A and B are shown apart, each in its own frame.
Chain A
Amino acid sequence: MDDSLSAVFRIGDELLCVKGHQSTSLQPCTITELDSYENSIALLGQHDFPRELPEKFNFNLGPVAGGLLESVKMNVYTDGERIVEIRPDPSFKNRNIHMRKSGIDEALLKMERVNGVYAASFGTAFCLAVEEIQQSPADYDTQLTRILISELERITNHIHVIAKLSEGASQNVATQHLFSLEERVRRIISEYFGHRFFYGLNSIGGLEREVNTNGLGGRISSVVDEFNSIWDALASSRLFLDRLQTTCFAKKEWTVGPVVRAADFKYDARLSGYLPYADIGFEVASDDTGDVLSRALVRQHEVEISSRMIEEICRKVRKVGKKRDLSSDKNGWSVKRVETPGGDMILFLGISGGFVTDFGIRSASMANILAFAKGATSGILTDFTFAWESFGFWISEMGDYI
């Protein structure tokens, strides 16, 4: 029985937690009880690392530095070239997004912008939660289209992460081929869905824009073929593999997404059936080493699986019309666990009178950040880039909500 700690939400004065890798049920808990979990500190956002490390060199990076895509501060303690400890501080770009008291549609648009790179899956999670509260699930074709956009998002994201790993290893030609592939997918997405990041597409009860999938499956399949051929060429480079292999082990059951699957735990929120993944041949990609190379291999395999699912959906769904349903006035709360490209995201949402009353997110980056800090420790400083990029963190999804 998997009872690892997955999420903690503070609702008023009460602490509620979600346990395991599939559950969406909330249980009351106390701070004392949470302390028995290895990852509880990260989930509560209270990084309680020792302050003094005598005779160690403190190497600070960020919050603003070349090479960092987002603002984050890294306090790195080194002994020679070896990393003794890393304390990531993601609080600099905390936006304190005002979710409570927002109207449902406005909150959906804000949700997409919590992490713009995962807008499709964040928007889907929000819509599923509202539809559950309102007891009016979207029709089957809309559900399949939501899988379609989430898997396109996964392909784009995984290509980006592998391009960043390749960039870190100075494989510059491969890197530029991968970044141009990422751009190709973004252009395909914008052509079919009207926006390069799926902004504004999801809607309560349906989709905000008409979607026609004609020819989409073939075009994505061609991109994925090229991606695989670039990956094969990269994987034949000993220089590239040497940087990835045995770097930053993360074999923790409480991690999520490609990180946990690369450690031979076959956890994936898509197995829970929040959308009809079972109808389109979904399978879980996994590996067993738990290092940077394993995480890259899982991502490469997931790109292939996503491409196959996209082709299957395009065969089943040709056209989906515009539809929005905000007519229900039901109140209540819902917990949704949705697999974003970085791992499963848990959303706690309460609505009353058409407005958001309670809101909380445990994002994949929040779940994995402590595993990065532990995994990168005892590695060498030049491995830092590979360790960081292999987790595919987005600092934007690690903020607070009001």
Chain B
Amino acid sequence: MKNWAVRGLSRRRMTTAFPRGEPESVAPWSTIPVKVREGTVLCPADAIHDNSVIAEKCISCGRCSDAFAPGGNVRTVLVRRADGVFRKSFNIFIIDTGSCGACNLEVKALTNPIYDMHRLGIFFTSTPRHADALLVVGVMSENMKEPLKKAYEAMPYPKLVFAVGACAVSGGILGKSIEETLNADVIVPGCPPSPFTILDALLKSREG
């Protein structure tokens, strides 16, 4: 026990200053690119129109790097509907409708001591019956349509739905968006979105 206590203290504070401060580490190509010069660009996700990137479609592949550079901004979420009732405590149920695994790990990372979402009153719950929000990752696979609908129906009101990652938001390059099955209240772009972006989305959705 002493061993673990000493080890914990010797690591000092590792929790991020976010959201009060700026993110300490941002993966450049996880943020939405911005145009910096002229160049030929063939976007595999059809995310570039009129010299700007549609965040919902961008798959963070960097194939536009001849003309675009990472924007570096993690606060790129789109909140269609927020609810202030969740300000003090916010319970989230995660559902994977067809992800590659990366979004799952970035969401899971929110519980590690570095992001520590519990300090902000946000918790994961293991059943939709206790959930305030449904956090959906991955493209809409055929076999997950029914479990997704059932999970949503099992949730009490009021409730929010988050589409997390390019696959859930727009289908990316692999399939269909979840929005054909369920309307999302909060759009979290990125492939996968940075844990900071997901945290930002969770916080903004409680500001209603």
Question: Interface on A for B, CB 8 Å cutoff?
Answer: 63-67, 69-71, 91-97, 105-106, 109-110, 113-117, 119, 160, 173-174, 176-177, 179-180, 182-183, 186-187, 190-191, 194-197, 199-200, 208-209, 229-230, 233, 394, 396
Contact = CB atoms under 8 A, between A and B. Distances in A.
A197 B102 CA distance: 7
Contact of B173 (A96, A109, A396): A109
Contact of A182 (B44, B65, B112, B144): B112
A129 B13 CA distance: 46
Nearest to B64: A200
Given A113-B173, A174-B4, A195 B29 contact: yes
A161 B28 CA distance: 26
A190 B105 contact: no
Contact of A183 (B59, B60, B109, B142): B109
Given A95-B141, A106-B44, A116 B102 contact: yes
B172 A113 contact: yes
Contact of A199 (B8, B61, B113): B61
Given A97-B174, A233-B3, A115 B28 contact: no
Given A91-B143, A109-B61, A200-B61, A69 B104 contact: yes
Given A65-B126, A176-B113, A110 B99 contact: no
B144 A71 contact: yes
B191 interface: yes
Contacts of B7: 177, 229-230, 233
Given A106-B44, A191-B25, A200-B62, A93 B99 contact: yes
Given A63-B144, A195-B27, A396-B101, A180 B174 contact: no
Nearest to A184: B114
B96 to A, nearest CB: 5
B81 interface: no
B28 A194 contact: yes
B125 interface: yes
Nearest to B176: A95
Nearest to B60: A199
Nearest to B5: A173
B111 interface: yes
Interface string B131-162: 00000001101111001000100000000000
A199 B173 contact: no
Instruction: Name which of B65, B101, B109, B113 has the most chain A CB atoms within 10 A of its CB.
Output: B101
Given A95-B139, A200-B62, A396-B99, A187 B29 contact: no
B168 to A, nearest CB: 12
B100 A190 contact: no
B30 A93 contact: no
A95 B101 contact: no
Nearest to B140: A95
B112 A394 contact: no
Contact of A179 (B70, B97, B111, B141): B111
Contacts of B147: 63-64, 71, 92
A70 B144 CA distance: 12
Instruction: Name which of B61, B125, B144, B174 has the most chain A CB atoms within 10 A of its CB.
Output: B61
A95 B61 contact: no
Q: Nearest 10 CB-CB pairs, A to B?
A: A66-B126, A116-B102, A190-B27, A116-B100, A179-B112, A200-B61, A200-B62, A187-B25, A117-B101, A113-B100
B163 to A, nearest CB: 16
A114 B65 CA distance: 23
Contacts of A105: 44, 63
Contacts of A183: 109, 112, 114-115
B99 A109 contact: no
Given A95-B139, A199-B61, A208-B63, A117 B105 contact: yes
Given A66-B127, A176-B112, A190 B30 contact: yes
B90 interface: no
Instruction: Name which of B11, B99, B138 has the most chain A CB atoms within 10 A of its CB.
Output: B99
B98 interface: yes
A179 B174 CA distance: 29
Nearest to A233: B3
B98 A115 contact: no
B126 A67 contact: yes
A97 B93 CA distance: 26
A179 B113 contact: yes
Nearest to B70: A194
Contact of B97 (A71, A174, A199): A71
A190 B101 contact: no
B62 A209 contact: yes
Nearest to B130: A66
Contacts of A160: 105
B189 interface: no
Contacts of A187: 25
B175 interface: yes
B192 A116 contact: yes
B173 A92 contact: no
Instruction: Name which of A91, A95, A190 has the most chain B CB atoms within 10 A of its CB.
Output: A95
Given A97-B174, A116-B101, A194 B141 contact: no
Contacts of A394: 101
B118 to A, nearest CB: 11
Given A63-B143, A116-B99, A233-B7, 17 more contacts: A63-B144, A66-B124, A93-B98, A94-B143, A95-B138, A106-B173, A113-B59, A113-B174, A173-B4, A182-B112, A186-B109, A195-B28, A196-B27, A200-B62, A233-B3, A233-B4, A396-B99
B34 interface: no
